[in-house]
Homo-oligomer: A and B are copies of this chain.
């Protein structure tokens, strides 16, 4: 009996173990599949990531030749390690970042190497116990001063890595020289291997599918303008949508785009910082006015903050009373749509580096609409409706007027950029693709009833605008 119950127990244990373990392979497979999907998405989102990874692999394989080739290894010996280290640390995603780090590393090594040799010489004069004490004092002084310098915002932004390498090289050369008397050879080897490593990085980053930070900055600024533009183009239709219009289930992702604009300051600043290291390339000169892109970016964020306030009214579930809606719907939608189209034209102008003349008619129309709205509001729109509801609609109108003012400022700063950076002008009468942007927008919107009035109103203006540029999507930007 006992044996039977024991074997039963054993069988029960095994069954339970089996039920526990059975789903494990399935779970593992699904987890691995999930990770694989994520990896695939990372690569698809920006194929330049895959290329960059292969570039790093290539550079490291090339630099390992120092060890494999007998002739090279004879010349540098263990210092070849510095070349490997330089490649790992310096090779960054964009040309600007790589150049910045490479120059920082090279110059800091040269400077600190020279200073280290000098200090080593000075300390060796004192001899005996005085030498390590003097060396220690200099190391302390230099490390503390350089570390403090890294807190200075100007130095932190551009030379932070240089300061780090300065401390490192100074310590290595001056202190290691205490044991290794052939200090000049040590410094020379370190410097030459670092230069070789740095040169490898710079050549690979420029020659093999270069990623220019400046171009990324330009695309990011254009993309942000486009996101705000798309929001504004769709806002009127969304806000004045009635329950009958509900059947039109179009993609609402354009209403979320502005959120990423709110926190884009850091990315823009770091891209601008990298872009300043880049040499002239393509349509960019060496001293391209990168700062102006930051100015446009700041104004775009100003606009996005107002849209964040506006968006609260869109999501409140509140529907404007019919009486007010009929009074201000057309003019509000027109103002919002024209501002949005102006921003989209500006985005295209920034991206294609052409003068943003095609945005001007839209700006003018949005200004006119704003004036009409003000006159309408002045005459009073309340009628018999609940005043609180009037206030809600009026707040939206008031914020929209604010946004229109922001759009004007953005247009001014894009014009400024175009004149500083000598953007080429486009002849509105020649281009066969004239007003393509507006036409595409028109085609996309005629199916959706709630914006049809607006489109009809805005289409003649779009034809006047003379936009000669195909509405290509701004490519994804990776930071």
Where the two chains meet, the residues of A that have a C-beta atom closer than 8 Å to any C-beta of B are 38-39, 42-43, 49-50, 52-54, 56-58, 60-61, 64, 67-68, 73, 78, 80-81, 84-85, 88-89, 132, 135-136, 139-141, 143-145, 147-148, 151-152, 164, 167-168, 171-172, 175-176, 178-180, 262-263, 265-266, 301-302, 305-306, 308-309, 312, 374, 377-382, 386-388, 391-392, 394-395, 397-399, 402, 478
Assess whether B68 is in contact with A178, with CB atoms less than 8 Å apart: yes
* Contact of A171 (CB < 8 Å), options: B60, B144, B312: B60
Also in contact, A84 and B175, with CB within 8 A (given A140-B60, A147-B56): yes
CB of A262 to closest CB in B, whole Å: 7
- For the complex with contacts A57-B143, A67-B178, A378-B387, 17 further pairs of A-B residues with Cβ separation under 8 Å are A43-B148, A49-B151, A53-B148, A57-B141, A61-B143, A64-B136, A68-B136, A89-B164, A265-B266, A306-B308, A306-B309, A377-B388, A382-B382, A391-B391, A392-B398, A394-B394, A394-B395
Q: How far is the CA of A167 from the CA of B145 in the complex (A)?
A: 31
Collect the chain B residues with CB atoms within 8 Å of residue A378's CB.
Answer: 386-388
Q: How far is the CA of A171 from the CA of B176 in the complex (A)?
A: 24
Q: How far is the CA of A50 from the CA of B402 in the complex (A)?
A: 45
CB of A84 to closest CB in B, whole Å: 5
Determine the residue in chain B with the shortest Cβ distance to A58: B140
CB of A211 to closest CB in B, whole Å: 13
Contact sample, A vs B, 17 pairs, CB 8 Å cutoff: A42-B148, A52-B147, A53-B143, A54-B144, A56-B167, A57-B141, A60-B167, A67-B175, A67-B176, A68-B178, A85-B168, A88-B164, A312-B402, A377-B391, A378-B387, A381-B387, A391-B391
Q: How far is the CA of A171 from the CA of B82 in the complex (A)?
A: 12
CB of A115 to closest CB in B, whole Å: 15
* Contact of A57 (CB < 8 Å), options: B52, B81, B140, B312: B140
Q: How many copies does the complex hold?
A: 2
Q: How far is the CA of A265 from the CA of B267 in the complex (A)?
A: 12
Collect the chain B residues with CB atoms within 8 Å of residue A387's CB.
Answer: 377-382
Q: How far is the CA of A312 from the CA of B145 in the complex (A)?
A: 44
Collect the chain B residues with CB atoms within 8 Å of residue A175's CB.
Answer: 64, 67, 84
Specify which of A141, A374, A391 lies most central, judged by the most chain B CB atoms within 10 Å of its CB. A391
CB of A139 to closest CB in B, whole Å: 5
Also in contact, A57 and B139, with CB within 8 A (given A152-B38, A305-B262): yes
CB of A91 to closest CB in B, whole Å: 9
CB of A119 to closest CB in B, whole Å: 12
CB of A104 to closest CB in B, whole Å: 14
Collect the chain B residues with CB atoms within 8 Å of residue A141's CB.
Answer: 57
Q: How far is the CA of A39 from the CA of B149 in the complex (A)?
A: 8
* Contact of A402 (CB < 8 Å), options: B57, B309, B397: B309
Assess whether A168 is in contact with B263, with CB atoms less than 8 Å apart: no
Q: How far is the CA of A391 from the CA of B379 in the complex (A)?
A: 11
Determine the residue in chain B with the shortest Cβ distance to A132: B68
Determine the residue in chain B with the shortest Cβ distance to A386: B378
Also in contact, A136 and B395, with CB within 8 A (given A84-B171, A266-B266): no
CB of A388 to closest CB in B, whole Å: 4
CB of A267 to closest CB in B, whole Å: 9
Determine the residue in chain B with the shortest Cβ distance to A270: B266
Q: How far is the CA of A387 from the CA of B349 in the complex (A)?
A: 39
Determine the residue in chain B with the shortest Cβ distance to A310: B309
Closest 7 CB pairs of A and B: A57-B144, A57-B140, A53-B148, A68-B132, A395-B398, A309-B309, A53-B147
* Contact of A391 (CB < 8 Å), options: B136, B388, B397, B402: B397
* Contact of A61 (CB < 8 Å), options: B139, B164, B168: B139
